[in-house]
Every structure is written in structure tokens, then in C-alpha cells.
A and B are shown apart, each in its own frame.
Chain A
């Protein structure tokens, strides 16, 4: 029982870490304010849910999710990435809300507010009894892969341009780089990785509904990134561990201890996440692990 809780927390940690790595690439490294991360997470989750429940193998549904996310990423990027940074923040928040509205309203496709149930758990029959452990393994492998891909990208000449854009976009343009193209690519990669996290999420829970994709999730991911250390993928993973332990832990504990003053644990949890975000951004904006100096040349 306790072990299950721990495994569950670790699986969540992995999924959040993947999601935060994708945010880190966009926001931490490139400076793109994506406040609609949850939309791309949801895209991955719903795509795989819809396809696998109609018999498509997981591997193809995951790829479909990534492709659809990439398309959504492009659609959001094209009208906004030429403009000032805050426009992206506004449009991504809005996009997340519109997508959730769509998931809510289009019962015929998405099951509406009830969502989709019976999403198959791949290879379940082979790991009966130890499925959590197996799934943790899958999540872990994916996380490691995402981590290395992200590190590879950040520490390349391409990534250098991204980090330069974060500091001064016009100066990058003055060096002959098409900054719009770079930003769009970073945004689309971010969208794709988030979609993978969504795929893992859907198959883990095996049911999904629109209210699992609230903007609060995006903001938790932001908090993870900020306290972990923007631009530092190891920091971001550390942040995921902390926040998830706190998040899952407080769910676990609430069954055993009484909240003082009859406080609602869910509210307290989100207030703490908000406070952490504020405190870190004021007093420790670099996060726990500050960005490492890049090892150039390669």
C-alpha cells in the first residue's frame, strides 16, 4: 500500500519532470512565456486515449499525439511569436482554455465532462501485480530520453541561439539569425515533448476528463521550473521531485491527519504552490540549481 503510494508519486514525478523539461526548453532557455502548457499535455492525452480505445497501437497513437501537438504549436506560434513576449503569454493561456472548452463541449468526440474511460494500459497482461513498477520504468526511460535530447539541443549551436534570444532577440537578428524560426522550432519541440508526457499520463490513469487539464497544472509546472532553476534540466527534475512529493504527499496525508481550522487541503496545496512561485521569483529567481555555464566549444 505504502509502496504503491511511493510508486505512484514517482510516476507523477516523472511525468511532471518531462512536462517541465519541455517548458524549460521554451521558457527557461528561450524565454518564451508559454502559459498554456497544459493544452499540449491534454492534446497528447486525448489523442492517445481516442486512438487506443478504438484499437490503434500505443506507439502510433503517441506519434499522432506528437504530430497534432506540433500542429497546434505552430498554429499558436505563427500569429504570436513575431510579437512582444507578453502576447504569447496571453494567447497560450487563452489557447489552453479554449481547448479545454472544446474537450468539455464535444461529447461525441471527447466524452464531454465525463471524459474517456478504459484507456488500455499497454502490456498489462504481462505485468499483472507489478504493473506500477513496470510503468515507472517506462516513464523513467522516457524521462531520461527527453532529458538527453533537451541537453543535446540546449548545448548545441542551435541551443546557443535560443539562449541568446532569451537575452536580446534583436541583437540575435543583427547577427543574421531568423529569430522567428528559432523560436517557432523551440515552441514546437516543447509542444511535442509535452504531448509525450500527456500520452504517459493517459495510459497511466486509464481515464481522463477535461478537469484534469486545468490552468493550475500549467502553473504548477511553472513553479517546478522556477524553484528548480530555469535553464537547468537537473534543477527542473529536482523541482519535480519536491513539488510532486509535496502534492502527492499532501493527498496521502490528508487521510490520516486533520487539517487545522478545517482548511481544504486542495486549496492549501495550490496556495502553497502560488506562494512558492512568488517567493522564489523575488528572492531566488535562479532557483535551487542555477543554470550551468555552457561547456563550449562542444
Chain B
């Protein structure tokens, strides 16, 4: 394979990984604290993408403002879903099954509302894209920004989890909610912050995906499978696991697509790669790649 092609694949993998990582971290955070798979996360991603569209195209501002707006608006939407739906279920003592079903309902409502507002057709951000050549591969300034912002956000999150009181409280709440409550932490307040961050990250991921490809109402839905594949591969609730898994999946997809065309299969099966990765992880290491034996057992019914 010529060096240029290889470089292109590596670059594409890193870009995809950088988008997956934001979406998956948001998903895994909520998963860890609330212990259910939030299927409406997909639509938070879509909502983020379209709220940036509002700022970028409808208001005519730079996409950077779109990104910030998307983070905040989607964060607030995440909080809204919790206050309106999930908190009520928590208060009634409903189990994770109810939470998952409700999240499906929220997903339907959001996705179709987005389609009602912005229509089913493809839209694009208003971007002026500059292309650079690196080692014979091409990369745009937008893509460089995606990777850079993504990494910056990861570093910020890492610092928050390890160094701030809020980060420690979040970890406390997710590890042992009863204990956290007993030691005077207002868990409901922490939960809202987890939602804001988790949903905000999803929104940012949506903007990146929209900037790198296009906007459609099923933008987030298409990311749901890879996002869950990343979360499970990384070990549910694991921040660092999700980071590694996101980039691994980015590489797996981009190299996998090569394999597909070698096998004479349609590259339309691209997202089947995430599925295969997911199944392999479930068979081989259900607790995730980072999971020790104990965590693996946790992936099994306890």
C-alpha cells in the first residue's frame, strides 16, 4: 500500500476516533451513574448538530459559536430529559428496564421533532474548508480542529475527574450512590451535572460529525451502534477505557473498510464493523478490554 493511502487511513481513523470519543464518554458517564443504557443519547447527538446549524447557518455565526451553543443547549436538553422523565422514574423506584424503554420513547420524540423542524433533507454547515496535504494524505482544517478540540476536551475532563471536588463527587456518586448520599453529597444535583456534561459532549460530537459529513435527522441514530460498541469495549462506565476503545474502533472501521472492498463487499457495511467488534467483545471480554477479571465478571450477571 502506498504511504499516502496508509497515512490517509490513519488520519481518517484518528478523526473518527475523536468524534466517537466525545459521544461515547457522554454515554458512558450517564450509563455509569444511572446504570441504564440511554438510547436517546443518539438524538442528543443529532440535536447538538442541528443546534449548531441554527447558530452557524440561520444566525450566520462562526461554527465555533455553534459548537459552544450546541454543547450548552444539548446539555440543557439532557437535563430536561432527566427532570421530565428519568427522575420521575427514579422517584417511583422503576428499574433500569423502564429507564431503557423510556429512553427509546424520548429518542422517538426527539428524532421526529428534529425532522419536523429541519426537514428530512440533507443540510450542511456553512464552512470555509481549507485542505492540507500531509505525507501524501489530505486533511482539512476542520478535521484538525475536530481532533484538537476533542483531545483538549478529554484532557479537561481528565483534570476535572482527578482534581476538582465536582469530579470526585461524580465518581463518588457513581461508585456508591447510597454512601455518597450518606456523606452529605446532594446526589440529585450531581446527577444533573453529569447529564449536562454527558449530553453536552454528545452535542459536541454531533457538531463534529455534522461538520465532517452532513446533517440528517438520523445522524445520531447512525452513531448509536458505534457509541455503544465503544462503551462496552471500554468497559461500561470507564472513562479511560472509552478513550482507548473509541480510537480502536476508528482504526478498526477504516482498516475494515479496506478489507470489505478486498472481499468485494459493499462499503455500506461500514457500520457492520462496529457490530462485529461489539459481538467479539461480548464473546471474548464482556467486561471490556480494560476490565480486569473482576470487571469482566461484572459484565456477566452478578
Contacts and interface: CB of A to CB of B under 8 A. Distances in A.
A–B contact, 8 Å CB criterion (strictly below): yes
Interface residues of B, number: 45
A83 B111 CA distance: 30
Contacts of B100: 33, 86, 89
Contact of B89 (A169, A270, A282): A282
B97 interface: yes
A93 B116 contact: no
Contacts of B286: 83, 87
A275 B282 contact: no
Contact of B94 (A223, A274, A281): A281
Contacts of B2: none
Interface stretch (B8-16, B134-142, B269-277): B269-277
Contacts, number: 125
Contacts of B97: 31, 33, 85
Interface stretch (A49-57, A94-102, A234-242): A94-102
Contact of B39 (A93, A226, A264, A275): A93
Interface residues of A, number: 45
Given A87-B286, A93-B224, A222 B101 contact: yes
Interface string B229-247: 0001000000000000000
Contacts of A222: 101, 104
A282 B92 contact: yes
A33 B88 CA distance: 21
A135 B290 CA distance: 55
A278 B37 contact: no
Interface in A147-198: 169-170
Interface string B96-133: 11101110111111011101100000000000000000
Contacts of B85: 278, 282
Contacts of B268: 101, 104-105
B279 interface: yes
B271 A101 contact: yes
A263 interface: yes
27 contacts: A33-B97, A35-B39, A79-B279, A80-B282, A86-B100, A87-B232, A87-B282, A89-B37, A90-B232, A91-B282, A93-B224, A94-B275, A98-B271, A101-B272, A216-B108, A264-B115, A267-B112, A271-B109, A273-B108, A274-B112, A277-B105, A277-B108, A278-B85, A278-B106, A281-B105, A282-B85, A282-B94
Q: Which 5 pairs between the two chains have the least Cβ-Cβ distance?
A: A274-B108, A277-B105, A274-B109, A278-B105, A267-B116
